[in-house]
């Protein structure tokens, strides 16, 4: 499992090409040639860039859902909406398709944010708004999510 670290402001050009920040290229160096999957985020108006190994782990979980249950079938369809395989080219760029770029409102100034095993790609203004809104109740959220009762043995 990979643990990515960092948040970087970048530019995306009119053709949807995004130069990965050098720090992420270094962290991803051992797996750059394996490829990635780019998809819409479930809860935010941003994109998620999965190294192919991480995508395969997630896909295996989703693939276990019973497609003869309507909710599962709908979830799988929506979860996979717009999913695209992407590669990092020789100059360190990825190509964001128009449909995914439109979903996340990516135009010029963007933020690439590490979310442990994946990268999030945000419109800069939407990222700052999401961070500002979350800051108000982050202490309560941190206590609820990371409070002692949920930490597995050996990690406290």
pTM: 0.89
Q: Quickly state the pLDDT bin for 136 (edges 50, 70, 90).
A: low
Position 151 pLDDT exceeds 60: no
Find the CATH number of the domain harbouring 57: 3.40.1550.20
**86-98 tens-digit pLDDT:** 999 999 999 999 9
93 part of a folded domain: yes
121 part of a folded domain: yes
DSSP string, the chain: ---B--EEEEEB-TT-EEEPPHHHHHHHGGGGGG-EEEEE-SSSSSEEEEEHHHHHHHHHHHHTS-TTSHHHHHHHHHHTTT-EEE---TTSEEE--HHHHHHTT-SSEEEEEEEBTEEEEEEHHHHHHHHHHHHTTHHHHHHHHHSGGGSPTT--
131 part of a folded domain: no
141 part of a folded domain: no
Containing domain of residue 18, as a range? Answer: 7-125
Q: Quickly state the pLDDT bin for 152 (edges 50, 70, 90).
A: low
156 part of a folded domain: no
**26-62 tens-digit pLDDT:** 999 999 999 999 999 999 999 999 999 999 999 999 9
Give the total number of structural domains in the chain.
1
**95-122 tens-digit pLDDT:** 999 999 999 999 999 999 999 999 999 9
């Amino acid at each position: 499992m990979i643990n990515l670290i960092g948040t970087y402001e970048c530019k995306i050009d009119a053709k949807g090409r995004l130069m990965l920040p050098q720090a992420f290229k270094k962290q991803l160096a051992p797996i750059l040639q394996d490829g990635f999957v780019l998809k819409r985020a479930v809860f935010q108006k941003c994109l998620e860039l999965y190294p192919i190994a991480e995508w395969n782990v997630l896909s295996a979980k989703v693939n276990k859902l019973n497609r003869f249950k309507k909710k599962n079938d709908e979830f799988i369809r929506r979860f996979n909406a717009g999913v695209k395989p992407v590669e990092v080219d020789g100059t360190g760029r990825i190509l964001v398709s128009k449909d995914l770029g439109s979903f996340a409102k990516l135009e010029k100034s963007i933020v690439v944010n590490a979310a442990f095993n994946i990268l999030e790609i945000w419109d800069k203004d939407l990222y700052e708004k999401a961070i500002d809104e979350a800051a108000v109740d982050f202490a309560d959220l941190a206590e609820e999510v990371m409070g002692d009762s949920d930490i597995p043995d050996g990690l406290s």
